[in-house]
Structure 1
Amino acid sequence: MSKVYASAIVGALACQKDSYLKTLTTKVVSCVALTVPKPSKSKSKVIPPVETPRYEVEFEDTILFPEGGGQPSDTGVLHVIESDVTIPVFSVRRDGLVARHAVPEPLTPGATVTMNLTWGRRMDHMQQHTGQHLLSAVLDNYELATLSWSMGAGVQAGGDAILNYLDIPRKLTNDEIKSVQHEVNEHIQAALPIRVVVPESLEDGNTKTHKLPGDYDASKGVIRVIEIGGEEDDTSSKELKSKSTRLDHNTCCGTHLSSTSQIGSLVLLHQIPHKATQSRLYFIAGDRVPIYMQQCHTKLRSVNAALSCQMADIEANLTRISLQVRDLTSREKFWMSQAALHEATVLREKLSKSKVAILYLPEASLDFFNLVIKELGEEPLKQATVVLAGGAGKDGGAIVVAGVNVPDIVNEVLKFAPKARGGGKGRWQGKVNEWESGAVELLVEHITNLA
């Protein structure tokens, strides 16, 4: 017996029938409590936020799109009519053919709610998603299939999270990038129509059902095909019209714009190698373009101020600074090796007269101590032990113990740095997060007396 769905199925949701619907009155079908993980005391694990979703709700219909097709889920707000309570919807997920809404409070089955969409988030998602369809369609003309794609989280996430990318079989040349970007924006300016088509049959050979998720029952669901361009294209440019006749025809569950003009613009950014021969091409579209431009301009102005130069001179100044840093790094390595040689010589002299010696340098790093051990050589450490300690106060520092009787000497060191953590075979390396007041001086005195 086939399952009867009490709610609209994914593929025929209100949000998929009308991407511009911002509010909807509907009823609660079911509400299920979720198992919420207990807050972890471990610093390495993220503690769940206060507003962790605790219930999943199924409605008769929804204007909130469940995550799918590379498009993140919508968010929104519910107004419960009977109780006059407002509840946020954190996310929506697809469970087979059912859309389940994550909320912080339980809802009673049968309750009437007014659902309000977070429109800015939806519009941004549609600009990026429809932009990806258009970009992929143009890349198809270069015999470059879209292997996968990912939508950036958005402006609120900060940093590079604003960027989208798609993976293609090979890297584009600079000329191809210019050409592809030009063609995409030409189609945007042409205001090509975008339609959702539900094919009468899946056996016509034109609908690629292999792209459907494995848990989506195509026999009971609704297969949606997104078409860009075609017969309804009334652009005055015959050349563009011929290029754009049914420019795109792909199965997709996402929400889309009704015209390419609403994408606004699309910019190709940079590429990075991916897997063996593939290329990951980054892009942004819609309102993210001016926002990203403003962010970049603000950062460039900050760099201008830091370098005390004009924008045109930034690259030359950075090249000069890079060369200076490379030269200073080389000089640092030279003088570090000379200092390590000197300290190793002093330690070798001490170890010739005693079984243990200590070197404490507040500014020394673990790399420097390893150089000292290298310069000291193996022979002195066959009969004696050396302790190297660095850092000061709250900044902490490194500790190295090498030679014979390492475990015993480490135990002596830990008396003055009980919170130090480290390990190693033959040579113990550790880190002190903070030196207690006077601890270093007492350690030096104690190790010296052991000699």
Structure 2
Amino acid sequence: MLVLHKGISQLVSATAADIVPWCRELGRQRSVIELDTPLVTAEQVEALEKSVNEKIRDRVPVTVRELAADDPEVETVRSRGLPDDHVGPVRVVDIKGIDSNLCCGTHVSNLSDLQVIKLLGVEKGKKNKTNLVFLAGNRVLKSVEQSHSTEKALTSLLKVVIQSPLFLSEMDQNNLNLLRDIAVLIARDFKSKPAPKQLFVLHRKEGDSEFMNIIANEIGTEETLLFLTVGDEKEAGLFLLAGPVEAVENLGPRVAELLGGKGAGKRGRFQGKAAKMSRRGEVQALLQEFIAHQNPGA
């Protein structure tokens, strides 16, 4: 893995050198290149990752040659300088067309041996510098495998939590509270109108009998006729007809019949189950006709 690591580090470092100066640190799990800048943008990281992986796919050759320490060419090769006690020739590692670097380690013979490089992002470094963190080769595969295992474990845990009675009970209570608040707001909005209509019609897919009765209580049924439904828009659901006692007693059974359902009522309220919610329009027409007969001069 050390062979791969040195090739990886040289490739990333050489490409990153187009952005800012660098130094590198090879870790057991992930590696870091220290960039001499306080900021590296996400766009720069993305461009760098794309560039180094293109070079890997291009199978760029990597060669090693030796130069005498006093060879003038040594001065043209990128390095941190030779140790004061160095003797003998120096090794130059060339990535064809990309980089020449003094290095004493073992290197790959071809960039394709690196497989792939994944830049994980940047972290704040020391002394106003930025650390570029990356994985490569088999470490990328191991990281993906670990992430997938973690995701599966979290998904299983989440399913257990969601299916727990305590969680479901809390969710049901929250939904119930929201429905109650919505019912109150709907009623207040209707009552805030300068001249409220004599007929109020509302359908809401999410809701129950309590939802409809809260609206009826808030609006009041002495002067207004209310036709409220909840459930599927075309099939089964619940309905509530509320309003003046005489009107509800007269219209309640007919509303239930039109909706293909059954119901019962008392004191100005008639409610029940409906099997044909698609006929709500016919019920509304019936109610509007009733109101028109009650107010012929209106």
TM-score (norm 2): 0.50
Give the TM-score, by structure 1 length: 0.33
Q: Structure 1 or 2: larger helix share? A: 2
